[in-house]
A and B are shown apart, each in its own frame.
Chain A
Amino acid sequence: MTDNAPKGEARPVISATASKGRTGAYRRLPMPARYAINAILVLVFLVVGELMIDGGAISRYQSTVLEQVGIYIILAVSLNIATGYLGQLPLGHAGFMSVGGYGCAIFIVRMMETLGVTARDFVTGSPVCGLLFVGGLLVGGLCAAVCGLIIGIPALRLKGDYLAIITLAFSEIIRVVMLNIDSVLGFKLTGGAAGLTGIPGYTSFLNVFVVVAVVCFLIHTMMKSRHGRAILAIRDNEIAAEATGVNTTYYKTLAFVVSAFFAGVAGGLYAGCIGVLQPAVFGFMKSIEILVMVVLGGMGSMLGSVISATFLTILPEALRAFSEYRMIVYAVVLILVMIFRPQGLLGSYDFSLSRVIERVLNHDFPWGKGGTGKGSAPDAADHEPSETTDAEEVSADAGR
């Protein structure tokens, strides 16, 4: 684990020469093809989902649950940046979510008055509403990101548990402020304990899905970039990362702010999905709920976050009849997973369809001839989450 950081610095050179030298040996998919495969997959999912909703196979209630699944996916994936990739433990994700939610909802409600748009227009859909929706989410995200910056700068000076508790403290402060800010300001902003009402239902399955896809894509590409590598290096060994020239303060703050931004976006979607925002919802328990999703799925695995967010959002809905027991089941599952699989269900493994296709193209199956990669792949996959090409290349080089 410790030698990852230096390797990261040298990697571009290694992979450039290695892939040129071995084009005949191991057939690879070109990057455009990889993107195309994923884009097609996303489209297929989207079209199938929309058709099922339009055709009535998914009821109104079920599509609301699906919207919530999407929102929790964004929350889990964004928290994963700070927890899984950066290796810190922020306990205040719900705070960012609430800031984003309030920011987005207040922006949209106020702009509706100015532009003369009614709540009905969001259902029928108009270009202005589309712009308003995107603008609202961006405003929500930016509000949360600013909070993330304000919190991140002092919080990231601290380590481990202290960071956890200071983020918890900040999110509790945010909650109290949301609750009581109206009496200080003297006009109605957040609506206090009664909550912010009259938020138009601008969230639909379609736009949640698109936002989820965009957020996952952005986070994925960020983690594949130089900046993402720097963040991973900090997680693996902060001192080594600093010694190799990574600006640790900058990248820690960056990861924190990006994480907060997407939580804010999710908060904006949440506001439109539920229609009411109350500060009490965004307490400590909400933060924990999101953290549980990340940890259960496996810290540092995007697929893990997506699966466990989906599962843990649908499970309580499916268990409505046993709602008293579900939280106990939840707690027991959490403890058992931690005892028997401390790294989470998927560890830091990430699924890549392109990698599977490459395996098939090269007749390289885990159960077949164990020549290329697989022997050392689990090890590489453990440390390098979504690393496909380089990790295998390095291990293949080592095997030669």
Chain B
Amino acid sequence: MQVLMQVLNGLQLGSIYALVALGYTMVYGIILLLNFAHGDIIMVGAYISWLVMAQLGMPPVVAMILSVLGCTLLGVLIDKVAYAPLRNAPRLSILITAIGVSYFLENGAQLVFGADAKVVPAFTDVSTIQLGGASLSFAAVATVVVTAVATVVLTLLVQKTKLGKAMRAVSEDMGAARLMGINVNNTISFTFAVGSALAGIGAILYTMAYTQATPTMGMMLGTKAFVAAVLGGIGSIPGAVVGGLLVGFAEVIVTALGLSVWKDAVVFLLLIIVLIVRPTGIFGRTMSEKV
């Protein structure tokens, strides 16, 4: 029983990381940008949920929809305002811009909502699910299911639709894609929209599990998810999921062993070991450099 609970915990945490990591991977796959602001988009999503439910007193469904929508719009807006002017700039400049955006969102939230944690009300009254005699946490089950569905939908989107084809083409070779008549800027914006929508879903699942929103919540969550994306091989959808689950399980195991103060160190150590053994992550493509 204890083991089952821990496995479910690991799955839940891992799924949240996986969802966020998918956002990182999508954006990195297409414009090779580590979107540092991704974690903070989640933070904004959590605040929207809090705002809609606790302040405006609207039903949870509205909060969910508005959170996802808000995150999506924010993602596209960030791309248009901060990243689009830098499409041809050195990669380092875009990276620093991403850090700037992250700073901006964090401190903006702190200014608007204050530094203290806001308690996000529960989305449902159901707290446990009875399954064959065992009672499972509803949030955990929902998280795992939603992540599985999101991964499948995302894979289908990338592999089977026309937009997905355009995304793959742009990530392969931006110049050639443009010559083939693909609207590169719109494709990139669409990628940001998808990634940020996933962040919105991640925000809802996160607040379901931890019920609070703070201005800096995105930072550690984002960093860990980012580690997960790199661990799995950044740019790869199955890699993000595997990486997320690995990080989640590593944390749960370390905590279960009573070493919770070391859990961050273990996650980062895991990353270092994987990168040393496989420099592009578990599912990463190795790229040979042309001279």
Listed stretches A32-40, A43-51, A156-164; interface member: A156-164
Complex CA distance for A334 and B82, rounded to whole angstroms: 11
Are the C-beta atoms of A338 and B86 separated by less than 8 Å?
A: yes
Are the C-beta atoms of B265 and A335 separated by less than 8 Å?
A: no
Q: Is residue B261 contacting chain A, with contact meaning CB distance below 8 A?
A: yes
Q: How far is the CB of B261 from chain A (nearest CB, A)?
A: 5
* In the complex with contacts A324-B111, A335-B97, A330-B103 CB distance below 8 A: yes
* In the complex with contacts A169-B271, A176-B265, A328-B108 CB distance below 8 A: yes
Closest to A339 in B: B85
Q: Is residue B99 contacting chain A, with contact meaning CB distance below 8 A?
A: yes
Are the C-beta atoms of B34 and A161 separated by less than 8 Å?
A: yes
Q: Is residue B89 contacting chain A, with contact meaning CB distance below 8 A?
A: yes
Q: How far is the CB of A75 from chain B (nearest CB, A)?
A: 17
User: A277-304, CB under 8 A of B: which get 1 and which 0?
Assistant: 0000000100010011001000100000
Q: Is residue B119 contacting chain A, with contact meaning CB distance below 8 A?
A: no
Taking CB atoms, residues of chain B closer than 8 Å to A161 are: 28, 32, 34, 95, 234
Complex CA distance for A161 and B289, rounded to whole angstroms: 15
Taking CB atoms, residues of chain A closer than 8 Å to B264 are: 172, 176
Complex CA distance for A155 and B68, rounded to whole angstroms: 37
* In the complex with contacts A165-B230, A331-B103, A335-B97, A154-B276 CB distance below 8 A: yes
Taking CB atoms, residues of chain B closer than 8 Å to A244 are: none
* Residues of B in contact, count (CB < 8 Å): 45
Q: Is residue B269 contacting chain A, with contact meaning CB distance below 8 A?
A: yes
Q: How far is the CB of A283 from chain B (nearest CB, A)?
A: 9
Q: How far is the CB of B270 from chain A (nearest CB, A)?
A: 9
Are the C-beta atoms of B93 and A338 separated by less than 8 Å?
A: yes
Complex CA distance for A160 and B234, rounded to whole angstroms: 13
Secondary structure dominating the interface of B: helix
Q: Is residue B210 contacting chain A, with contact meaning CB distance below 8 A?
A: no
Taking CB atoms, residues of chain A closer than 8 Å to B268 are: 169-170, 172-173
Are the C-beta atoms of B104 and A169 separated by less than 8 Å?
A: no
Secondary structure dominating the interface of A: helix
Q: Is residue B57 contacting chain A, with contact meaning CB distance below 8 A?
A: no
Q: Is residue B275 contacting chain A, with contact meaning CB distance below 8 A?
A: yes
Are the C-beta atoms of B91 and A170 separated by less than 8 Å?
A: no
Q: How far is the CB of B244 from chain A (nearest CB, A)?
A: 16
* In the complex with contacts A154-B272, A331-B103, A239-B289 CB distance below 8 A: yes
Q: Which residues B237-273 have CB closer than 8 A to chain A?
A: 261-262, 264-265, 268-269, 271-272
User: Residue among A165, A292, A332 with the most chain B CB within 10 A?
Assistant: A165
Q: How far is the CB of B23 from chain A (nearest CB, A)?
A: 16
* In the complex with contacts A172-B265, A291-B96, A331-B104 CB distance below 8 A: yes
* In the complex with contacts A284-B223, A332-B104, A338-B86, A299-B279 CB distance below 8 A: no
Taking CB atoms, residues of chain A closer than 8 Å to B104 are: 328, 331-332, 335
Are the C-beta atoms of A173 and B279 separated by less than 8 Å?
A: no
Partner of B107, one of A172, A173, A327: A327
Q: How far is the CB of B138 from chain A (nearest CB, A)?
A: 33
The count of A-to-B residue pairs whose CB atoms sit within 8 angstroms is 115
Q: Which residues B8-48 have CB closer than 8 A to chain A?
A: 28, 32, 34
Are the C-beta atoms of A164 and B34 separated by less than 8 Å?
A: yes
Q: How far is the CB of B221 from chain A (nearest CB, A)?
A: 13
Q: How far is the CB of B257 from chain A (nearest CB, A)?
A: 14
Partner of B100, one of A162, A180, A331: A331
Q: Is residue A179 contacting chain B, with contact meaning CB distance below 8 A?
A: yes
Q: How far is the CB of B151 from chain A (nearest CB, A)?
A: 23
Complex CA distance for A88 and B90, rounded to whole angstroms: 12
Are the C-beta atoms of A157 and B82 separated by less than 8 Å?
A: no
Taking CB atoms, residues of chain A closer than 8 Å to B291 are: 239
Closest to A341 in B: B93
Q: Is residue B92 contacting chain A, with contact meaning CB distance below 8 A?
A: yes
Q: Is residue A356 contacting chain B, with contact meaning CB distance below 8 A?
A: no
Complex CA distance for A273 and B234, rounded to whole angstroms: 42
Complex CA distance for A162 and B279, rounded to whole angstroms: 8
Are the C-beta atoms of B103 and A325 separated by less than 8 Å?
A: no
Q: Name 23 A/B residue pairs within 8 A (Cβ), A-sorted.
A: A89-B92, A89-B95, A154-B276, A161-B28, A161-B234, A165-B226, A169-B227, A169-B268, A173-B268, A173-B269, A176-B262, A179-B261, A180-B262, A292-B96, A295-B96, A328-B107, A331-B100, A338-B96, A338-B97, A338-B100, A339-B85, A342-B86, A342-B89
List the 7 closest A-B pairs by CB distance, nearest first: A331-B104, A334-B100, A169-B268, A342-B93, A331-B103, A327-B107, A176-B265
Residues of A at under 8 Å CB distance from B?
89, 154, 157-158, 160-162, 164-166, 168-170, 172-173, 176-177, 179-180, 239, 284, 288, 291-292, 295, 299, 324-325, 327-328, 330-332, 334-335, 338-339, 342-343
Residues of B at under 8 Å CB distance from A?
28, 32, 34, 82, 85-86, 89-97, 99-101, 103-104, 106-108, 110-111, 219, 223, 226-227, 230, 234, 261-262, 264-265, 268-269, 271-272, 275-276, 279-280, 289, 291
